[in-house]
Structure 1
Amino acid sequence: MKLHLIDRSTPSDTSFTAKVHEGSNFLKLWHYHPELELVVILKSDGNCFVGDGIEKFEVGDVFLIGKNTPHMWLNHEAYFDEASELIAKSVAIHFKKEFLGDKFFETPEMQHVSELFDRARFGIKFLNLKEELLITVQNMLSLDGFHKTITFLNILNTLSAHKDFKLLASSGYMKSFKVKTNKTLDKVYAYIFKNFNKNLSLEEVAKIANMNATAFSRLFKRVNGKPFSRYVAEIRIGYACKLLLEQKVNISQVCYEVGFNNISNFNRQFKMIMGCNPSEYIKQHVNSYQGR
């Protein structure tokens, strides 16, 4: 799966684009673009891949993806069934940081919004937003240019002040990611994200990079600051944490769903990465999670 540069440039008569995207599923493409992307999910669910992070999305979720941050919106398999009547729908706003001029967001009054843009390079999922903001985003689509711009600034102002959010990509990944110079690892990351819950071997992934296993292992550890096996384990355990908090499946089912072959190895890796076993993790976090 190749990383694609997508053209999200705006027409000459507007400084940013705000559109509804609707179809049987979202674009299944690992991609990036120089525009930031604000997305509100109106229909459908699935997984959002941002950098090396994986996050579930569902109706009402709001994400902000930064400039040139690799990402992909992947609906669940049911949305790709030819007989399916399911619909995927979202509002997507694409804009450059300089959409109101090179210095506009460098003014003291706009510093908080500029900081929001900086955080967005990791990908942001906003939690517990008021429904009014979701309605405002949808209503903005029918406004004229001036009022649409003012409304969008108000939306950015609200999001910059919102303290309940999570960052999706790791700092290690974003430090290593270079649009022009990291094409080899782009293919590797994309392959890992697509197959993280399968039996991935170092030799198999090294072939994706057209390298022998030893050379690839050295390169991967140098760029990411951790061995390949640890990197994959962290992705699996991160996704396992989301499944555990949802409490839709038991610990054994989570173990196999995220790619581990046996429960003892899953428990060992989970404790190594999270500092506790899966049962303890649920007890520590489920009350606060359900309260959201």
Structure 2
Amino acid sequence: MVFFLPKVDNCTSFVDFCSLSINLCLENLNMKLHLLDRASAKHSSFTVSMNQSPYFLKVWHHHPELELVVIRKSTGTRFIGDSIEKFEEGEVVLIGRNLPHMWLNDECYFEKNSTLVAEAVVIYFSENFLGDGFLRAPEMRSIANLFERARRGIKFIGLPPKLIDDLENLNGLHGFDKTMGFVNVLNKLSKHSRYRFLSSAGFVDSFKEAENENLDRIYAYIFKNFNTPIRSRDVADVANMNASAFSRFFKRIHQKTFTRYLNEIRIGYACKLLMENKNTVTSVCFESGFNNISNFNRQFKSIVGMSPSDYIKLYA
């Protein structure tokens, strides 16, 4: 995975990902990619539903349908492609076809006596939900462009409250009114200029390649051992490759060296420890997998944009 995030969000996102990887066995959370059936019913060209439950589905999955989501209630970590960020109430996200994703609620949602509720309006639809020629019509060019951009996942910023209301109200419409209402929502979203891509272009382009068991073994090994003294050649052995071939392969897939990738994972875990305010900077350095404080400080500043002590003042 390549972390494709704004500088400000890097630590928060690394924190949740590293924390998740460590707790996988404890929570029995399956990070194997699943293909889910999100096809619309025969009597409808798309599906609008109000999902309400104690927490969202804890499954890393994909499906050929696009997914438009409005988070009404709940907080947690959003995994879309190689983007890992916090999510909160009010956000609107469009996920392209077959882009892997998961919404993982905060730990408080899984506590035994929790009364918290995770609530979202979700729309599943295929690109050609109104027919094969739908997107070829000149009037639909901006919507076709929206669907293309959605391949990387889109988070919309500063949507007008009226547009969000229109989106949520689709659940109460039927037939022609529901279809026209949805097309109108898509048209407005396609022309909204404030948005941010979530997953990197490199991840989308390499996703099919990344489905093979070889990379699954690589990721599993890294996330299990990132805070121990692992080397590139150790991971190369797991991948059944020689060291130089593995380095070339890894850099081509992730657009960064294995060392940089490993340091990002370690610094993310360090952020988690610092935010918990339970450890000194020195102990965090060694617990995160670094073997000396000067290298830890240097890597932390390179990845986060500030020193560990400044980070504590800002976020802790």
Fold-level similarity (TM above 0.5): yes
Pick which of 160-169 and 198-207 moved more: 198-207
1:227 deviates by 2.0
Query: Does 1:56 find its partner at 2:78?
Result: no
Q: Go from structure 1 to structure 2 and tell me whether the alpha carbon gap of 1:196 and 1:94 turns closer, same or farther (over 3 Å shift).
A: farther
Per the alignment, residue 290 of structure 1 pairs with none
Is 1:121 aligned with 2:151?
Answer: yes
Shift of 1:71: 0.9
Match of 1:9 in 2: 39
Q: 2:306 maps to which residue?
A: 277
Partner of 1:226: 256
Structure 2 gaps, min length 5: 1-30
Corresponding residue for residue 61 of structure 2: 31
RMSD: 3.8
Amino acid of the residue matched to residue 141 of structure 1?
Answer: N
Larger of the two Rg values belongs to structure: 2
Cα distance in 2, alignment partners of residues 75 and 189 from structure 1: 22
8 Å CA contact 2:215, 2:239 repeated in 1: no
Matched, 1:67 2:97: yes
Flag the 1:118–1:260 CA change in 2: closer, same or farther, 3 A: farther
How many residue pairs get matched? 274
User: Shift of the alpha carbon at 1:107?
Assistant: 1.9
Q: Which residue of 1 aligns with 2:201?
A: 171
Higher relative contact order (Cα pairs below 8 Å, separated by 6+ residues): 2
Percent identity (aligned): 49
Which residue number corresponds to residue 133 of structure 2?
A: 103
**What's the CA shift string for 1:172-225, capped at 9, x where partnerless?**
222211179534325655786x77986694579949966468365453233223
Are the aligned partners of 2:232 and 2:259 in contact in 1 as well (CA < 8 Å)? no
- Match of residue 289 from structure 1: none
Partner residue of 1:88?
A: 118
CA distance in 1, matches of 2:171, 2:192: 23
Is the contact between residue 187 and residue 208 of structure 1 (CA under 8 Å) also seen in structure 2?
A: no
SS at match of 2:172: coil
Alpha carbons 1:188, 1:209 under 8 Å: kept: yes
TM-score normalised by L of structure 2:
0.72
Query: Any runs of at least 4 consecutive aligned residues in structure 1 with deviations exceeding 3 A, and if so which?
Result: 179-184, 186-192, 194-219, 232-241, 252-267, 270-274, 276-279
TM-score, normalised by the number of residues in structure 1? 0.77
Rounded to whole Å, the distance in 2 between the matches of 1:196 and 1:167 is 30
Q: 1:219 to 1:20 in 2, by over 3 A?
A: same
